[in-house]
Amino acid sequence: MIWQPVNLTTACPANSPLTACSPFGFIYLNLLVQLFGDSFDNKIQRHYPSIELGDNNDDYDFIVVGAGSAGCVVANRLSENPTWKVLLLEAGPEQPDVTLVPGLSTVLASSNIAWSYTTEPNGKSCLAYPGGRCSIGSGKTMGGSSSINSMVYIRGNRADYDGWAALGNEGWSYNDVLPFFKKSENNKNIEDLDKRYHGVAGEQYVSRFTYIDEPSLMMTKAFIERGLPLTDPNGPHQEGVSQSQVIAYLGERVSTNTAFIQPIRYRRKNLTVKVNSEALKILIDKNKRAHGLIYSYNGQIFTAFAKKEVIVSAGSLHSPKLLMLSGIGPKDHLEQLGIPVVQDLAVGENLHDHVTFSGVAIALSNKTATTVSEIEILKAAQDYAEMKTKRGPLSGHGSSSTVAFIKSDPNLIAPDVAYHCRDIYDWKEFFDDPLTAGRLQIFPKSFYNAVTPRIGHTSPNSRGILLLNSSNPYGPPLIYPNYFGDESDLIPIVKGMRFLLSLENTEAFRSTGSYFVREPMPACKDYVWGTDDYHVCLAKSYTSTTYHYVGTCKMGPKWDRKAVVDNKLRVYGVSGLRVIDASIMPFIVRGNTNAPSIMIGERGVDFVVKYWQQYSKY
Which residue among 318, 333, 457, 548 is the active-site one? 548
| Mean pLDDT of all residues belonging to the chain | 96
Q: For residue range 515-538, list pLDDT tens digits in order.
A: 999 999 999 999 999 999 999 999
The CATH architecture assigned to 55-615 reads: 3-Layer(bba) Sandwich (3.50)
What does the CA dihedral 65, 70, 75, 77 come to, rounded to 10 degrees? -150
Annotated binding site: 149-152
Task: For residues 76 and 302, give the distance between their C-alpha atoms in angstroms, rounded to a whole number.
Answer: 23
Residues placed in the known binding site for FAD: 149-152
Task: Spell out the alpha helix ranges (H) of 401-529.
Answer: 427-432, 434-439, 490-501, 507-512
Q: Are 244 and 22 in contact (CB under 8 A)?
A: no
The confidence score (pLDDT) of residue 55 equals: 60
- What is the CB neighbour count within 10 angstroms for residue 235? 15
What's residue 618's pLDDT? 45
Separation CA 256–CA 261 (nearest Å): 7
242-271 pLDDT per residue, tens: 999 999 999 999 999 999 999 999 999 999
Q: How confident is the model at residue 614 (pLDDT cuts 50, 70, 90)?
A: confident
Contact 323, 314 (CB under 8 A): no
- Please tell me the predicted confidence (pLDDT) of residue 120: 98
- pLDDT > 60? residue 498: yes
pLDDT at 617: 58
CA torsion, points 477, 482, 483, 488, in degrees to nearest 10? Answer: -160
Q: What would the mean pLDDT of 337-362 be, rounded to a whole number?
A: 97
- Between CA 583 and CA 223 the distance in angstroms is 33
- 506 in Cβ contact with 222 (< 8 Å): yes
User: Can 354 be counted among the known catalytic residues?
Assistant: no
Domain ranges of the chain: 55-615
The length of the chain in residues reads: 618
Measured CA angle at 550 (ends 546, 554), to 5 deg: 170
Residues 6+ apart with CB under 8 A from 560: 167, 168, 554
pLDDT in tens, 86-143: 999 999 999 999 999 999 999 999 999 999 999 999 999 999 999 999 999 999 999 9
Please determine, for residue 181, whether its predicted confidence score (pLDDT) is greater than 60: yes
pLDDT digits (tens, 9 = 90+) for 293-319: 999 998 899 999 999 999 999 999 999
Residue 53: predicted pLDDT = 60
